[in-house]
Structures are given as structure tokens and as C-alpha cells.
């Protein structure tokens, strides 16, 4: 059975642990996978071998506390969102939890409605973070270099050209047209563009179009032909050829590979 999300509950008190599990299973109605661990050590080992979307852990546990557990999993791939539970309104615990990026801090005894609201909030936060991470991984390193160069230089005619390209990616455009709009000789514009951007005009335009295409492929269910049109290619055949030359795989395979990883 395919589950939407995996939630791990960690508490050394069996009654609390099982109470939360039961509440979440009733709410989930089989959609999500609800797991439990009786100690921080057990939870750390579990998370080292498989991912979770949400970790709900008690603060005070023998051997490995909840906060130590959260610290221990910071470098794990696919780090879960975290909710901390405690029977004590301890400001220091709350402060440390915030520093570790914990979504919320629940005081025991935990109200069922509050638990469910907080769990849904934490899962939403995790989903947003996952999307951001996915998009960051997709960014062309050469385009990151361009952005850094631009930040160092400030406003120039080339900055205007880049803004125009960004706003009109789906349209036909030539270097001469942009140079003319900036009242620059096209040969001079070409040299200036390469000097300030680090890429020639056509390579930059291609990389920007493929970058936008990657975003559309991952964020929408848009057909390949429509993605091609949206990023300025008149035929999907040529778009696929260009995309494959930069990414090493076709747009449809790229879409599938990113969705598979997530």
C-alpha cells in the first residue's frame, strides 16, 4: 500500500506513545504510515535507514533526549519536520527547539484537536521545504554564477537586457533586437554581454529557457509541447533536442526522475 506521508512518534511512555498513534491513525484513515519508537536511540536508528515526513518526539527521554535526537538527524537526507512534546513549560527547551528548526512545541497532556491541527501544519511546512529544496537542486550552476556576477556589478545596460529576457522567454527574440532597444551596437553588445555575464547571448538564453522548462515540468502537468511553446520553442522536437543536450535526458524523463525522487 502506498502511503502519502510517514509520521514517527517517539516517547518512552507507552501510554502517551500509543495514545498519539491511535489519534493519528483514526485521523489518517490509512492514508499515512504511523510508526512509533520507544526511545531516542531507536528513533535515530530508524531514521538513519528510512525517511520520515514528520517526527513527533518527547523532550525528556533516557539515553538520548528529544533535542539530542533532533540534533543527531540534522545531516540526514530527507530530514523530517519536527514537533517537540514536553510535560514542562521550559523556556530553555523551547528556545533550543526553535534554533533547531522545530515547527512547534506541544505541552502535555496534549489536546487531540491541537495535536491534529499542529500535525497538519507541520506536514504542510515539510511539503513547502521539500519543494524549495527540489527547486534549488534544479537551478543551473552557470545561472547561479551569472546572478552572483550581476549582484557585484549593480545596474548596467546588460542588467536591463537580462530583465527583458526574463520577462519575454516565451517570445522570439534576437540579440540584435535587444541591442537596438538599448541603443547599442550589436557587436559591442555581444562583447559586453559575454564580459559581464560570463556566457554568450545564445547560451544564456538557451540555459534560461531550459531552466524555466524544468520548473514547468516539475510544478505542472503541462504537456511537453506546451512547455516548449511557453519557453520560446516553436517545435517540441527542437525543444527536446536542446533540453537533452543540456540535461542529458529528455523532458519527460526529467519530469519522471524528479517526481520519483520526491
Backbone dihedral angles phi then psi of residue 208, each to the nearest 5 degrees: -65, -40
**Which stretches within 198-250 are classed as H helix?**
201-219, 224-230, 236-247
pLDDT by 10s per residue, the chain, length 262: 556 899 999 999 999 999 999 999 999 999 999 999 999 999 999 999 999 999 999 988 998 988 899 999 988 877 899 999 988 777 677 777 778 888 888 888 999 999 999 999 999 999 888 888 888 888 899 999 998 888 777 668 999 999 999 999 999 999 999 999 999 999 999 999 999 999 999 999 999 999 999 999 998 999 999 999 999 999 999 999 999 999 999 999 999 888 776 6
Same domain, 147 and 49: no
Q: Do 57 and 152 sit in the same domain of this protein?
A: no
205, 209, 212, 214 alpha-carbon torsion, rounded to 10°? -130
Q: How many domains does the chain have?
A: 2
Domain final position from 74, 105, 131: 131
Considering 90, 113, 131, which residue would you say is the last residue of a domain? 131
| 3-state DSSP assignment of residue 18 | helix
Same domain, 126 and 149: no
Q: Is the separation of the CB atoms in 53 and 126 below 8 Å?
A: yes
Neighbours of 108 (CB within 10 A): 14
pTM exceeds 0.75 for this model:
no
Of the candidates 44, 76, 77, 58, the residue with the CA atom closest to the CA atom of residue 12: 58
Residue among 153, 151, 199, 202 at smallest CA distance from 175: 202
Among 131, 156, 187, residue at a domain's last position? 131
Residue 241 included in any domain: yes
Please indicate, yes or no, whether residues 33 and 99 belong to a single structural domain of this protein: yes
* Domain span holding position 70: 6-131
Return the CATH number at 211. Answer: 1.10.10.60
Amino acid at each position: 500500500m502506498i502511503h502519502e506521508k510517514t509520521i514517527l512518534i517517539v516517547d518512552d511512555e507507552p501510554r502517551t506513545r500509543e495514545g498519539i498513534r491511535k489519534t493519528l491513525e483514526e485521523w489518517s484513515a490509512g492514508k499515512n504510515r504511523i510508526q512509533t519508537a520507544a526511545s531516542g536511540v531507536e528513533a535515530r536508528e530508524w531514521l538513519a535507514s528510512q525517511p520520515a515526513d514528520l517526527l513527533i518526539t518527547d523532550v525528556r527521554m533516557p539515553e538520548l533526549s528529544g533535542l539530542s535526537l533532533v540534533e543527531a538527524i540534522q545531516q540526514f537526507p530527507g530530514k523530517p519536520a519536527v514537533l517537540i512534546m514536553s510535560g514542562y513549560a521550559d523556556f530553555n527547551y523551547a528556545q533550543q527547539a526553535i534554533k533547531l528548526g522545530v515547527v512547534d512545541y506541544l505541552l502535555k497532556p496534549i489536546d487531540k484537536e491541537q495535536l491534529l491541527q499542529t500535525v497538519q501544519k507541520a506536514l504542510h511546512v515539510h511539503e513547502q521545504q521539500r519543494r524549495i529544496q527540489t527547486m534549488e537542486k534544479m537551478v543551473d550552476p552557470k545561472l547561479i554564477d551569472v546572478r552572483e556576477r550581476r549582484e557585484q556589478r549593480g545596474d548596467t545596460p546588460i542588467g536591463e537586457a537580462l530583465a527583458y529576457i526574463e520577462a519575454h522567454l516565451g517570445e522570439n527574440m534576437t540579440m540584435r533586437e535587444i541591442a537596438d532597444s538599448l541603443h547599442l551596437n550589436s557587436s559591442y553588445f555581444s562583447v559586453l554581454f559575454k564580459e559581464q555575464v560570463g556566457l554568450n547571448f545564445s547560451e544564456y538564453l538557451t540555459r534560461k529557457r531550459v531552466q524555466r522548462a524544468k520548473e514547468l515540468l516539475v510544478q505542472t502537468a503541462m504537456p511537453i509541447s506546451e512547455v516548449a511553446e511557453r519557453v520560446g520553442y516553436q517545435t517540441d522536437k527542437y525543444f527536446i533536442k536542446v533540453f537533452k543536450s543540456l540535461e542529458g535526458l529528455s523532458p519527460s524523463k526529467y519530469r519522471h526522475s524528479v517526481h520519483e525522487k520526491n
